Amino acid sequence: MTATIITQTYNFSAYMIYLPIVITLTVLVSQFLFKNSKTFMIDIFHQKEDIAMATNSLFKIGFYLLNIGFALCIIEFFQIETVERLVVALSKKIGGFSIYLGVMMLLNLLLFLKGRKHAMNKDKIRQEEIVES
C-alpha cells in the first residue's frame, strides 16, 4: 500500500486574487484612456463626432480583448505552498501585467497622436490648395 501525501497549495487563492485585480486594472486604464482620447478622435475624423465616437468604442473593445486575453494567457501559477510564495508570485504576475498594460496604453496614445498629426497635415494641404485656387 502506498501513502499519498496531500499538501495544501495556495494556487486557487492566487487565481481568485489575480483575476479581479487584472480585470479591474484593465477596465480602469481603458476608461481613462478612451475618455481622454475623444478629443484626438474628433480631430482625426475632422469634427465628425459620430464616426469618432464609434471608432473610439471599437478601439476600447479591442483594448479590452487584447489585454484581458493576455492576462488569461499568463495566469498559470505553479505549486504555491506558502503565503510568502503566494505574495511573490502575485507580485510578479500583477507587476508584469501592469508593465504590459502601461506599454499598451502608451502605444494607443502614440496611435492617437500619429492619427491626429496625419489629419492636421491633411487639413493643411487642403487649405493650401484652396488658397492656390
Give the Cβ contact number of residue 55 at 10 Å: 16
Q: How far is CA 59 from CA 19, 53, 100, 104, 124, in A?
A: 22, 10, 17, 12, 27
Task: List per-residue pLDDT tens for the chain, 133 residues long.
Answer: 566 666 678 999 999 999 999 999 999 999 999 998 888 888 888 889 999 999 999 999 999 999 999 999 999 998 899 999 999 999 999 999 999 999 999 999 898 889 888 888 887 888 887 887 7
pTM to 2 decimal places:
0.82
